[in-house]
Amino acid sequence: MNTTALKSEERVVRDIMTRGVATIQCDEMLPKAAEIMTEDDIMTPFVVEANPEMSLKEIANIMISKGIHRTVVLSPVGRKPVGLLSATDIVKNITQH
């Protein structure tokens, strides 16, 4: 195995995830939700979650098996959203290394 492939396999979700996720509580009023949606990207409430320490290979396999292209990254403690990861992020990482 070449070192380029090895480096990509050793990377974890936190290395390439998009940070700064906008969220609201499920009991927020509609005007607040509309305000946030006009400022940021919208994500479905039914998501597959990732841990920041998961390997890229592990989360890629989960995304393939579930047929999804994006996942929310939750902190291990408190399970708060800390980032997003897309299939495009993973592909970009592979092509840059």
pLDDT per residue as tens digits for the range 8-38: 558 898 888 878 776 767 776 777 766 766 6
Asked if residues 73 and 51 have their Cβ atoms less than 8 Å apart, the reply is yes
- Residue 2 reports pLDDT greater than 50: no
| Pick from 10, 12, 9, 8: nearest CA to 76 | 12
| Backbone phi, psi, residue 83, to 5° | 180, 175
pTM: 0.66
Domains of the chain listed by start with CATH number: 3-96 (3.10.580.10)
